[in-house]
Chain A
């Protein structure tokens, strides 16, 4: 099944646990969702730049003196507020769907 989700909310949510670089964000999404969510890693970066432009995250290069410099992202206060709003909308949506769904998948549909 392929579903489009709120990528920005997911990225903000991962960053709420602490500053991370792009690869770590993609890894965190994969691991935290136990492999259910797979982030198209290339598409992660335009999302991060949008978040940065909105002022919801800030970024800075770290380890520039090493051969593996990384751009680390940190969630801002306005980013936290945005995440709260998006999370609320998401939970409302899920609650609505849950009310419609049966508790257990039924093996056969009664005719």
Chain B
């Protein structure tokens, strides 16, 4: 590779990420360096082409150099992790809590509520990993703190929107779900096709949520149940499989749901206890998971760079 090709490669890699006048100044200095190094190799007896080639080789990989120039210009290498995450951390946190605000009908767009959670989790982790790969920094702490903060804010909003002594009002989603399920079970027991052809609830082992949160979460979505929008054929197939289980589980489920929607309230000490648990669990879980992904990405990136880098080495 000639000096000209090397500089062209650096220019191409830098693209428009650095102002043109700064790029020109940097390239001019690199050109000067390559010229001086070439002269030195010529003085040692090399021909000009070989000397220039050696001088360029000593500069290392142009892609790495361009990457370092960009990082240096944008202060990515030394800015605080909190500043680097000022956009991505809130974005990731919002993506992580987004399922709580989804309408049940949206679950039908991709299959089920659980799939939405999986997709959004993968999206959040992918954004985080890309950001780590670009910045090559430890970013899991600010992202965990942001995620915890947003989760706590959601719960606090729910506290503030309902007085502790206020009993839960009947939740239309739960009531409608129960009614549909009861009708469907009766139809199944009578050997008829189920009438529930819209979103139906399939009992799961999830524990009913401890918090009474009138703010969108339970009103829009009973998070302890897996909901799925089904086609008529799917509903028939599901009832053929789960009909008996549903019929057996229904009385207990009905009792649980009715207990939740009829008059149970939570005192402030209960609420603060729940808030403390949520804070600790969210912070520990997100910190651990993101920390592992952070370490993994840094390890992969550093290995990839080490193969191409020409840093200070002890020979």
Which residues of A are at the interface with B, using a C-beta cutoff of 8 A? 1-5, 7, 10, 21-23, 26-27, 29, 35-43, 45-46, 49-50, 53, 68-71
Nearest chain A CB to B224 CB, angstrom units: 51
Q: A3-B314, A21-B32 are in contact. Are A46 and B59 (CB under 8 A)?
A: no
Closest 9 A-B residue pairs measured CB to CB? A40-B310, A42-B59, A42-B65, A46-B68, A42-B60, A46-B72, A23-B36, A40-B60, A40-B311
Which residues of B are at the interface with A, using a C-beta cutoff of 8 A? 26, 28-30, 32-33, 35-37, 40, 58-62, 64-65, 68-69, 71-73, 75, 77-78, 306, 309-315
The answer to whether B69 touches A41 (Cβ under 8 A) is no
Q: For the complex, what is the distance from the CA of A22 to the CA of B62, rounded to whole Å?
A: 17
Smallest Cβ-Cβ distance to B306: which chain A residue = A2
The answer to whether A71 touches B315 (Cβ under 8 A) is no
Contact of A46 among B37, B62, B69, B313 (CB under 8 A): B69
Smallest Cβ-Cβ distance to B36: which chain A residue = A23
The answer to whether B29 touches A71 (Cβ under 8 A) is yes
Nearest chain B CB to A24 CB, angstrom units: 8
Extra 18 A-B pairs, beta carbons < 8 Å, given A1-B315, A43-B311? A2-B306, A4-B312, A5-B312, A21-B33, A26-B58, A38-B313, A40-B310, A40-B313, A41-B59, A41-B310, A42-B59, A42-B61, A42-B62, A42-B64, A46-B68, A49-B69, A50-B78, A71-B29
The answer to whether A35 touches B315 (Cβ under 8 A) is yes
Nearest chain A CB to B185 CB, angstrom units: 67
Smallest Cβ-Cβ distance to B60: which chain A residue = A42
Q: Is the interface of B mostly helix, strand, loop or mixed?
A: helix
Q: For the complex, what is the distance from the CA of A111 to the CA of B28, rounded to whole Å?
A: 60
The answer to whether B35 touches A45 (Cβ under 8 A) is no
The answer to whether A50 touches B313 (Cβ under 8 A) is no
Smallest Cβ-Cβ distance to A70: which chain B residue = B32
Q: For the complex, what is the distance from the CA of A46 to the CA of B29, rounded to whole Å?
A: 12
Q: For the complex, what is the distance from the CA of A39 to the CA of B78, rounded to whole Å?
A: 21
- Across the interface, which residues of B come within 8 angstroms of A39, CB to CB? 311-312
The answer to whether B312 touches A68 (Cβ under 8 A) is no
Q: A21-B32, A22-B29, A46-B72 are in contact. Are A41 and B314 (CB under 8 A)?
A: no
Q: A50-B78, A71-B29 are in contact. Are A42 and B314 (CB under 8 A)?
A: no
Q: A23-B37, A40-B60, A50-B72 are in contact. Are A45 and B312 (CB under 8 A)?
A: no
- Across the interface, which residues of A come within 8 angstroms of B29, CB to CB? 22, 45, 71
The answer to whether A43 touches B32 (Cβ under 8 A) is no
